[in-house]
Amino acid sequence: DGVSSFVDDAESTGHTRKREPRTTTEWAWLAGFVLAIVVILVAGFLVARSGVRTILASTDGDVTNNVNDPGAPGYRLIVESSPTTALGIIVDGRLVSAALIVPSADAAGGTWLIVPAETVVDGGDRLADLWAASGNEALREPLADLVGVEPDSFEVLDELRFETLVDPTGPVELTLADDLFAATDAGPEVRFGSGRVVLDPDEFATFLAWQNPGESPANRVSRQRDALSAWLAAESVEPESPAIAGDLATTIATLAGGTAVVETIPLVGTNGTNDRFEVDVDAVRERVLEIAPFARAATSVTRPLTLVLNSTNNDQALTLAVATLAGSAGAQVTALGNGDDFLADSSTIRYVDETWADAARQIAETLGIDLVELDVAGNPAFDLTLVIGPDLAARAG
């Protein structure tokens, strides 16, 4: 073939063929080809860099962040939502309590907000009845609507899982005001005596569910608060424990690692009976925003997406403090940072269209901001922009 013939000829003559020198035309074509490759590479780099700059500078539904220095004007930071966990406690096949758990944002500890099973939600049903009719999935939406935020996760604890959670802690001690007893054929039988009570892990869920014959569920809720407080104060769950692995274990460990507050949602009272708790929904949602100011709004709740800008100085602690106040006042703060300069005369809330005018005024009134104005040229990624001026800085600093 052609390859073997060429090799044979080269070996027989003792030398190989030499390439003829390139002509002027060939050198010109080679130089042009190399130049074309260089031009293409440079053009590609410029287009890519331009594209990156366009994305970073875009204000169409995104957060502008061309500045990397947190102390410089124009810096932006996306705010992560406050972590929340919704919970249902099931004992003997019935819902005995629900809860919203909110770990502290800046340290260990947090809040366990008890939502009694007898709470009446929108539609007139009790949470206990919803669960009895349709199970766990029936709790998600009504509970989220009641507290006004969309929990990051929804967990269900039955007797066995609660025992697994409490087991690393060991027996839980608390003081009981009255005897807890069951009705039997032989008469009342004391199950938990008044005074000092020591609850083994396998008794804990049973205690949370206990209700004497004819007793108001309000008493049971009070005991739940005492028992949960005692447990979290002594709790020693390791987040990596395989038996309770996952977000719930981490949440409980964080809660118990500091000051854990256990409280009941604001209750208005009963509706003429002893087993239906009416609630002040606005008060419940306000309390939730106090402990979870950056939590995501429930689908049934509309809160304005808000950018908080410090136009007084580059004090990040001040910016975060004002953002927290704005979140507690009903703003869905999704980003914060520095203004384009630090020369603001006064604090301002700007809204992008009239849809958000009332919300802007309500938040401004809560924060003591006098100036509220329409800004049709504002960043469309946000419904409101809160500009921190020296007046608000002085009050929040």
User: Which pTM was predicted?
Assistant: 0.79
Is 251 in contact with 99 (CB distance < 8 Å)?
Answer: no
Alpha carbon 105 to its chain's center: 10
* Residue 266 neighbours by CB under 8 Å, 6+ apart: 279, 280, 283, 284, 287
Q: How far apart are CA 89 and CA 165, in angstroms?
A: 13
- Half-sphere exposure at residue 316, Cβ-oriented, CA atoms within 13 angstroms: 10
Q: What ranges make up the beta strands (E) of 236-369?
A: 259-264, 267-270, 277-279, 305-310, 332-338, 348-351
> Which amino acid, residue 290?
E
The C-alpha torsion from 38 through 40 and 43 to 49, rounded to 10°, is: -90
Residues 130-143: b if buried by 16+ CB within 10 A, e if exposed = bbeeeeeebbebbb
- Half-sphere exposure at residue 349, Cβ-oriented, CA atoms within 13 angstroms: 29
Is 396 in contact with 373 (CB distance < 8 Å)?
Answer: no
Per-residue pLDDT of the chain (397 residues; tens, 9 = 90+): 433 333 344 344 444 444 455 565 555 555 555 555 544 444 444 443 333 333 333 333 344 456 788 899 999 999 999 999 999 999 999 999 999 999 988 778 999 999 999 999 988 899 999 999 998 888 999 999 999 999 999 999 999 988 988 888 889 999 999 999 987 877 788 999 999 999 999 999 999 999 998 888 999 999 999 999 999 998 755 544 444 556 788 888 888 888 999 999 998 866 555 789 999 999 999 999 999 999 999 999 999 999 999 999 999 999 999 999 999 999 999 999 999 999 999 999 999 999 999 999 999 999 999 999 999 998 899 999 999 999 999 988 7
* Residue 257 neighbours by CB under 8 Å, 6+ apart: 108, 109
- Half-sphere exposure at residue 186, Cβ-oriented, CA atoms within 13 angstroms: 3
Q: What ranges make up the beta strands (E) of 311-347?
A: 332-338
Distances, alpha carbon 132 to alpha carbons 96, 116, 151, 289, in Å: 11, 15, 22, 29
